[in-house]
Amino acid sequence: MSSEKFYITSAIAYASRKPHFGNTYEIILTDAIARFQRQMGKDVFFLTGTDEHGQKIEELAKGEGIEPQKYVDKVAEEIKGIWDLMGASYDKFIRTTDDYHVKSVKNIFKKLYEQGDIYKGEYEGWYCTPCESFFTDTQIVDGKCPDCGRPVVKAKEEAYFFAMSKYADRLIDYIENHVEFIEPEARKKEMVNNFLKAGLQDLCVSRTSFKWGIPVDFDDKHVIYVWIDALSNYITALGYDPANEVQPELYNKYWPADVHIIGKDILRFHTIYWPIMLMALGQPLPKKIFGHPWFNFGQDKMSKSKGNVIYADRLAEFFGVDGVRHYALSEMPYCADGSITYENVVNRYNTDLANNLGNLVSRTHAMTVKYFGGTVPAPTAPDALDEELKAATKKAIEDSRNYMNDYHVADAIESIFTMLRRANKYIDETTPWVLAKDESKHARLGTVIYNLLETIRIGAILLTPFMPSTADKIFAQLATDKCDYASVEFGALESGKALGEASTLFARIDEQKFLAEREAEMEAARKKAEAEAKALEEPEHEPEIKIDSFMGVELRTAKILECEKVPKAKKLLKLIVDLGYEKRQIVSGIAKFYEPEQLIGKKVIVVANLDPATLCGIESRGMLLASGEEQVRVVFLDPETPLGERVR
């Protein structure tokens, strides 16, 4: 292996929900680049992982009645499973809840604070929970997040801030003097003009309004805000810790990163906040940050409400993993957004994979068996058609390599399939079935078959970063060990060797039947989403009652004095409440949503004239007032509320 290293990272996936196809594209893209660089002989280190802290995750975990750690364990496992299914050849999978990462992030925050780059203040502005981002009045658009378009809320809290402004000029100079730092070029202009030259504001880097995060060591009211936490993964995964006198060998070997592969929506954090953090830490900056476009469903963003969310693992059930990888990589332009529809996937699959690649391999293998007993024939002197085919392979080798070095992945794949289409045309031009009928043309037939087998072998080598399993199947059918990039030039296939067993690479899909089935699924998903939305907007109401009936319910204020779990009853808590004039025992089915210590001392509203009931052998005299069904929330009162007051 070459001594030249290549450190590549994907953004770490947010462990809130199962990633859809658009999210999964990034890991497929990063993997293809990593595999290509390995082909080039480089010592590659490929990092991916999960971002597992933040308010959104805390709320989702609470909604499911489980601890945040248990929630992210479940989602991280699902994400890792999809990455593995897609063939991601990562060298390390980091989780931001890993102990070593937590320790390093605490020390990074502490170092930045002690050297004066972080200071305490108060934040007031607009906050988007899904994006975990703050925005000013001028940044929000019609009361919504400028990144994701969802509503923002006004937030005000004590916070620590990173003095970004003191590094802004230095970063501008760096970007202007390193033209390769941000790609594509349009992304660089956007960052410099819209954020840096417009006046960079200091960054809020801690929160007090939630607890699910890495605590600030010297001020435990605060948790470290997600971007310092998440961005640091690129160096903590290599063992970096500012508390170390000497950084570990892995860090010294691979940092700085050769490229961070990220979505365009998080470009600001990676091209502004992350470089400034590294400058403040005295560490080198990554060589390149590549902001890839998004995949939309047709012209729309993927949305559950539209029923158009597509998942990579589901696609793989129909098209195989390499079919999914091929579509993702070949349909995403270098800079503009890509599009996915089921119709496009079927068309791309049938045209590229079943016809151009699969049929070429199948026909050539079959002709080799039929005309040469399954043995690779020896070529003779080439004619003009042979030279054209060889020129096509040479061009595919050069073009695909150049495109991959420039991150034009779809163009690299297109250059390979241009070669494969030329090989199919070569069959039509040379008509092997006609040559086989003339004994005097047997040598010419052998040359044609050899050239086809050799073009297929070269195609498999070039396709290895994009469709590794398919490439391996082709090598097996050719029974060749000439599979690495060093043997990519025309003529390396050995004559006289027997081919391996034939196998179908890609079977054609009945487009009409497939699309009808998918449309039915999407329609069902749309109806389900509409029903759920309607249920939220128009909740079912109980029949109307007279005022006298309502006044017959005696609601009283009370204080919870004691609370404990009911043995062998997972849903029940036993509470002792003080009504001011007497104490009551109440059994409540809220154990899924509250720990006993969360309730002790709280003032609540109790239904005081409810008939006594026995639950799990324990008498209950009353009921707590609460809202919700899937997520139950007890109504808590002002601590100054007197006990025993009638609630009307």
DSSP per residue, 304-327: GGGT----HHHHHHHHHHHHHHHH
What pLDDT shows up at residue 1? Answer: 46
Distance CA 625, CA 577 (A): 13
The tokens describing 620, both together, are 């209950």
475 and 605, same structural domain?
A: no
Binning pLDDT at 50, 70 and 90, where does residue 540 land?
A: low
Query: Which of 88, 352, 108 lies closest to 228, judged by CA?
Result: 108
347 and 457, same structural domain?
A: yes
Q: Which residue has the tokens 């390769």?
A: 180
CATH code of residue 369: 1.10.730.10
In a domain, 51, yes or no: no
Which of 487, 505, 526 corresponds to the end of one domain? 487
If 0-12 CB within 10 Å is exposed, 13-18 middle and 19+ buried, where does residue 513 land?
exposed
Task: Give the count of domains, the chain.
Answer: 2
In a domain, 321, yes or no: no
pLDDT tens-place string over residues 229-241: 999 999 999 999 9
In terms of residue numbers, what domain contains 401? 341-487
What pLDDT shows up at residue 543? Answer: 72
- Ramachandran area for residue 346 (φ above 0: left; ψ -120 to 50: alpha; else beta): alpha
Distance CA 171, CA 303 (A): 37
Binning pLDDT at 50, 70 and 90, where does residue 535 land?
A: low
| pTM for this model (two decimals) | 0.80
- What sign for the dihedral angle of Cα 276, 282, 288, 291? negative
CATH code of residue 620: 2.40.50.140
Which of 487, 502, 526 corresponds to the end of one domain? 487
In a domain, 399, yes or no: yes
pLDDT tens-place string over residues 441-465: 999 999 999 999 999 999 999 999 9
Query: Which of 476, 430, 446, 439 lies closest to 368, judged by CA?
Result: 446
Mean of pLDDT values over 589-613:
91
Distance CA 169, CA 275 (A): 12
> For residues 572 and 197, which has the higher predicted lDDT (pLDDT)?
572
Which of 443, 467, 487 corresponds to the end of one domain? 487
In a domain, 401, yes or no: yes
Q: Which residue has the tokens 């349909």?
A: 331
Please, where are the H alpha helices in 360-437? 360-372, 384-405, 409-430, 432-435
Mean of pLDDT values over 403-416:
98
